[in-house]
Structure 1
Amino acid sequence: MKIGTPSEIYKKVTHDIESIIYVFKSKKYNDVKYEEIEQAITRLEEMKSKLSLELEMLNDNAEWDVFNIAFYGETNAGKSTLIETLRIILNEPTKVCQREAFDFKKNEAIDVEKKITKHCKLVEEINDRYSLEIKILNEKSDLIKTDICEIEKDIQCFEEEIINLKKHINEKKKSSVINFFLYIVGILKEQQILSNLENSIQNSSFTLNQLILECDKLEIQINSKSEEMNLELEKMEGMYLKLKENQHRLNQELMHLSDGLIIGDGQSDFTRDVKAYKFSRHNQDFVLLDLPGIEGKEELVTKEIDSAVKKAHVVFYITNKAAPPQNGGDAHDGTLQKIKKHLGQHTEVFSIYNKRVKNPKQLIPGLINEDERKSLAELETTMKENLGDHYSGNKLLTAYPAFLSIGKTSYDTFLKAQEKFLKNYDDYEKLLSETYVDRFSNWLISDIVTDCKNKIIKSNYRKVSVRLNDTEMSIRKICDELITVKKLLEKTRRGTVSQLDESTNTLITNLHNAVTQGINCFKKSIREKIYLEIEKDINGRTFKEKYKEILEKALTELEVNQTKSIESALDSYKKDIERIIEKHNRYESELLDAFSKQMFLNLDNIEELNLKRVLNWKKAVGELVLVIGGLIVGLFTTIGWVAIAFSILGAIVSVSKNLINIFDKNKRMAYQKSIANKSIDKTSTAIFDSIIESINESNNQLIVYTEKFKQDIRKPTRNLDSMICILNEASEKVGILKSTIIREGVNYNENN
């Protein structure tokens, strides 16, 4: 098979499969019905259509230029965590740009944080300055207010004294003429005091007004300062809000630029789409594919997983369980079935044990304990058994602490975890070394991402060969099942033939037993009846007459009884044969129906496999029984038996006629019984031999008929053999094509 370019392999394989089927269509088949051949070819065409569809899907998803590595595994196994860490270690271009942008935004955020701190300090200074000035003014105002209160109290006291003093003056002027005169003149002592008090009130009121005026001025100053402070603080608040908005924006940008965005949060199906990350090392381009978990909601991710697996050239099966993948139940596939289904076509498959470590104390020397080591050995065995030589081994690491050691993030969860881990280690490099991820990264570059072009071709050819192998196995399975059908049919038919022989032998035995039993009854009946007559002391002539009379009746009864017995035996034989054939037909029908559904072939339409179409069993068996019964019964009659019996009796009587007429009663009776016994025995023997001879003659016809049945049952399965031959030859041709594909995939690089 010559292929121009590797990518032409899909068209070439499809063309070769079509050529294989064309050969079968064009070939002439002798002594075989074409309908059966057409069934086999139609089944091959159905398989070809399925293969063509799969090849088309491979072609649609094939990658011939860039080496693809798929990270495949269970949900929450840490695939994305490992890939994110590798993106950082291997300087994946988009990750480098992202981290540079993170650093730039981080510096901006630090500057903004400094400005906010400085701004808050300035606000505090402004607040303190104004507060101090207002405090001083308030203290002055409070002192004045205290004085005002004192003056108001003094005025109130003066007013009370004046009231009392006026009352006293009024009383005193009435007390005497002198006092009245003095009052009129205005020279009463009390009047002088009253004047002084009024002057004091006037002076105090003036002072009070001055103080109130001064206090009002201070209040104006205080309000003015407060307004100035509020205006300045409002201005500062606006600046602060802008700074906080800028800080929030930067924090949001930092969140989007943080490492670990692709890492799941523990929820099922966090990753639903396949994400590709492109790298370049040593002039080798390669892509890491982050696949959805295989244990999530299959309807959401199956198509994505299938497409990515078809594109990948190497697959890493990621698991966080130190145990072999498990089988599922009847209702759904388990992890192991999914691995076999998705990864069976790949050239290189590795298992990666990503140990779940959330606490620094879990990082032990060597990373795993002895129990985990034994469990991983079992995982190795299981993967090898199910993937064969294409399983390439296991790697050990723990991705989460590795990510924490080098990740740049603004997420609180990661920051707290980083602090917890780095507190137990001197620096991040030591922590990274403990995780084995740096070793894995070096191995990935040095051992996996090498000779990529050849690996791509080998991997893509391998996928085609797997599809051809599946087709070959499907054809081989049908072929093997047809062979199984043939063997089961042959076994069933041998059993049916054996049962027919056994039933025929049973018929002969039953006929012989019926004759023997009938003759014995015949002998007993005659003997009992003639003995009763002999006991009556009859003479020779009477004896002879009575014996003939009894014999004729017994022979008539014998004929009736023998006919019934033989018919009964034949009826049982007929029912037994019908039962055997019906059971045979039912079993073969069920067998063919079951295999037809299993193989999608209509085996029931193959004439040679359906005995119900070969002959009408019930009619044939009925005819056989009628013929055999007629042959047996037709060869014996009462007239013939009477003639035999009388000739035997005459011979015996003629030999013993002198003895019959013996005068001694007892001797005569004894001789008569003796003669009767001899006649009965010889007659019975002659009749028995006659019937057995009839049975033996009919047995030859029985053998002829049953042999015809057996020949029909043993009828060769030429059509079935032809279908087996066609499918077997097709399987071999597909196998040769598969081997050619594998060989060319291995040797392509050498030849080009």
Structure 2
Amino acid sequence: MNQTTATTGVQRGGLSKALSSSLPSLLKMQRKLRTRELSDYCVDGIIIGTGKADFTQNNVVYRLNYNNKEFQLIDVPGIEGNESRYEAMVQEAIAKAHLVFYINGTNKKPETETGRKIKQYLNRDAVVHVICNVRGKADSYEFDEDRVSLEQTHRDAIVTLEQTQNVLGNILEPELLQGLHLVQGLIGFCSMAFTDNMSTTINPERRDLIKAQLAYLKDFKNKEEMRRFSRIREIEEIIHDQCSNFDRNIILSNKRKVTRLLEETLEILKQQLIAHEKVAKNIRKETSGCAKEIDSAFSNFATSFSRKRGNLINGFFEELHEVAHNSIETHFSDKNLIEKSIQEHAEKLQKKVKFNFMQMQKSELATLSENIDRSVKRLQENVKRVKFEHELNTASMDSTKWKGDMDSVNFSINELGGMFLGIGGYALSGLAIGSVFPGVGNAIGVAVGVAVGVVSNLLKYFFSGRGKKIREAQKKVAQTIEKQRELLKDETIDAERKFLENIRIDIKKKIVNELYHENKKMEDVEIVLKEKIITLSELKYRMEENPDGAV
């Protein structure tokens, strides 16, 4: 008995302890389930801002359905203040939109910078409706005269609306700015957040909104009056109309967007073409000047080379004539001495003139190369100047957008700084200096040999006498040497012509053609730009001719 009683006491004590420890959790869970059950239909108010700055910090997409047609409502971050970190998101959303609501909830007109942002964001041919969302707590509508109309209660809102219209009217096309509306958004929301039996649908977590709803209801008596006063129905009708003409509005909006983009793109391309043509014209002018300088440098080279070549050959034969004249007079009685003397001096002269000729040729080619390099370097500097002037003109454009768009043409202009860098250094271009004028030494050697041979034959004839015969021998030798000079002159002139022509072709191939090849690149860019302008202009014309249908 005692044992049973003890056991039962233990069991009762354990159950009591278990209930004591578990009951709070069970009751808490029950209250939570009851709260969730009661608030199952309370879904409103969660997405409404709490007053925190930049509450919407990302594009928030709400997928809605109206008459079995799905559409999206995209809530974007505000454009007041410094919202540069949201800029890409706002642009992405606006680019997709066919209907845009610009909501001014600050009770002041948009500032200049805000207006610029609006133009940047909204000028994509979506229809724009401006909403001035006036604010006021319940005590703002305490008296009957405060509940007649928003205009009467919020006179400052009328001024704000008019100022907003003026600002946006100067930015957007008239057909795009289709409505300006005063709305008391919070009252409108509260009027719609009721069930048929006037239970609130606001989520219990938003006690601030529930409190405001009850306060407004106390002043306006019923939800219908709240809804009428808030003017929220105007926004409903806009959305209703948009949804009713959903397909056609999308087509029209898309076509307006594409047409506007085509217009902007065409304008950009035209400006690019103008800028490029100006740069190309200046580059052609500089290139033409450089080509003329190179041509002049070659002409001077050819004239100088020909003159010095003639001087060297004439000098050689004059010295050879003097050597033969003196040898005949000094050694007239000894034929072998005469031949030996002439031969020795002729060989020395031959080596001398060959060396001098090679030095002259090397010097003249070096001078030609320096002149060409100087002209090309001057061209490079002038091209850099043209490029710099183009960059200054581009930087002076008012629109930052245009600055970015103009970069697309710089693919040809930016190369100009390094253009022609491979042109020049003509003396190192592969010309085999010393062999480009072949046979000079050999030709002179042949002339010397012929002259010496003739002298020998003449000496046999004149060897028997002196005096008059010496002069006669000298005259005959001089005539022979002169004849050889004329023969060699003709031969070297022909070799010189071929030599100069090879250099001229080499210059044209390695330098002048490259100059004009760079010009051709710029002409190709002009052709591409013009073709794009024609293509896009034709597309724009077809879209304008058929605004309601497909293109």
The interval holding the TM-score normalised by the smaller chain is: 0.3 to 0.5
- TM-score normalised according to structure 1 size: 0.36
The structure with more helix, counted as a fraction of residues: 1
> Looking at both structures, which has the greater relative contact order when contacts are Cα pairs under 8 Å and sequence separation is at least 6?
1
Higher-Rg member (1/2): 1
- TM-score normalised according to structure 2 size: 0.48
